[in-house]
Amino acid sequence: MKKLLSILLMALMVFGLAACGKKKVNVGIVLPTKDEPRWVQDETRFKEALKDTKYSVEILFSQGSPAKEKENVEALIAKGIDVLIICPQDGSAAGAAVEAAKKEGIKVIAYDRLITDTDAVDYYVTFDSIAVGEAQAQYLVDQAQGKGNPLYLYAGAASDNNAFLFFEGAWNVLQPKIADGTFVIKNSSEAVALQSKAELTRDEMAKIIGQVTTNWEFNEAKNKAEAHLTAASDADKGDVFILAPNDGTARAIADAFDADSAVKSYKITGQDAEKASIQYIIDGRQSMTVFKDVRTLVKDAINMAVAILEGKTPETTGSYENGKIAVKAKQTEVIVVKQDNVKSALIDSKYYEASDFTGLK
């Protein structure tokens, strides 16, 4: 009997040591891809922010694949996470992954992009995406003079709910100026057909986005812009105005328009304040970007996760309908960056170093 008790005691000690040696992950983070500077930047910011907490974290990338995204979530569930922060590759497809997390009692925070058509999302941390689109469009409106200015529209991926919000915001500002003849749409028959409507349904926006989507990809944006320029007459060029959804696509589209001899000048929008695009802005090759201070967004996400881990209710400032529920959200403000305020917005705030750029004034 003593021998049996001794064996049991030894087994329990071994099991206890093994359990102690297995490090629990408190917060799991899943980001879309390492192939875009934005998300590598976010990874760095998350690591910096988490230095000040006592909680452990693991960050995984889905490399543009909803299937890989689901695998990542399952791997993090297996590591015992309490909170999942996830920026979905596809807002709808991510539902299955977060539903698996919810079944295990894990709190889910949608990061930057909303997860749609599921009730398995607890919170959403985001920039005001409609305000982003409005800021982009307002820049174009402020730069336009007279009537008949050629307008080229581009959008993000139809699988990303943010693409619709950005476009909705842009349409809010552009449509009155399209209706009064300030702008003439040159690359979307669907947008032309709907140009008299001040408010578009999601299905109507989907028709336009389907024609002008870049899928957030540099090459697709460049190819689409080149195809539009090939189809356009010289009269459709001249001094043009371009709604580009983010910085990566803006640089691609700008390169295509810059290479067309019939384009005398172009004004083009962007978003994310990527280093490469800030250099483009300094050099006069991109007109503006919408700066979304990832440090603030990351801080909001981490504060929300820590509140959950400590049994508190996270701070929220609004909500977003995802097709199933109204998801409580924390919204972060955005800043328009142009050539004349690069230094004050990005260098003085220590977001970037002056040495990262050439020709900075």
Q: Find the helix packing angle between 202-212 and 161-179, rounded to 10°.
A: 90
Q: What is the mean pLDDT of each run of 10 residues along the chain (361 residues)?
A: 51 46 82 92 90 90 94 96 96 94 97 95 94 97 98 96 96 98 98 98 97 97 98 97 98 98 98 97 98 92 95 95 96 94 96 96 83
Instruction: Please provide the DSSP assignment of 288-319 as one string.
Output: -EEE--HHHHHHHHHHHHHHHHTTPPPP--EE
Task: Identify the domain containing residue 350 by its residue range.
Answer: 129-292+337-356
The answer as to whether 8 is a domain residue is no
**Count of domains observed in the chain:** 2
Q: What's the sign of the alpha-carbon dihedral 55, 56, 58, 59?
A: positive
The domain that holds 97 is classified in CATH as 3.40.50.2300
The answer as to whether 1 is a domain residue is no
The answer as to whether 165 is a domain residue is yes
User: Residue 356 and residue 307: Cα distance in Å, rounded?
Assistant: 36
248 and 102 share one domain: no
CA distances 263 to 183, 232, 238, 285, 286, Å, are: 16, 11, 5, 13, 15
Q: Which residue has the tokens 């730069």?
A: 143
301 and 280 share one domain: no
CA distances 314 to 46, 102, 124, 138, 307, Å, are: 18, 18, 11, 33, 6
187 and 314 share one domain: no
217 and 321 share one domain: no
Within the chain, strands assigned E span 27-31, 57-61, 83-86, 107-111, 123-127, 149-153, 183-185, 238-243, 263-268, 289-291, 318-321, 326-332, 335-337
248 and 162 share one domain: yes
The answer as to whether 208 is a domain residue is yes
User: Residue 106 and residue 108: Cα distance in Å, rounded?
Assistant: 6
Residue 25 near residue 56, CB atoms below 8 Å:
yes
User: Residue 344 and residue 226: Cα distance in Å, rounded?
Assistant: 35
The answer as to whether 224 is a domain residue is yes
Q: Note the Cα 56 to chain centre separation in Å.
A: 25
The answer as to whether 10 is a domain residue is no
Q: Which residue has the tokens 């004050």?
A: 344
Q: Tell me, what's the pLDDT at 294?
A: 87
Q: Tell me, what's the pLDDT at 6?
A: 54
The answer as to whether 15 is a domain residue is no
Exposed, middle or buried: residue 273 (CB in 10 Å: 0-12, 13-18, 19+)?
buried
Q: Tell me, what's the pLDDT at 15?
A: 46
The answer as to whether 61 is a domain residue is yes
Q: Which two tokens stand for residue 197?
A: 């409507």
Residue 279 near residue 299, CB atoms below 8 Å:
no
What's the pTM value of the predicted model, to 2 decimals? 0.78
165 and 253 share one domain: yes
Long-range contacts of the stretch 46-52 (C-beta < 8 A, 24+)? 46/298, 46/301, 46/302, 48/298, 49/295, 49/298, 49/299, 49/302, 50/302
CA distances 144 to 179, 192, 201, 338, Å, are: 14, 19, 27, 16
Give phi and psi for 39, each to the nearest 5.
-80, -30
User: Residue 212 and residue 319: Cα distance in Å, rounded?
Assistant: 28
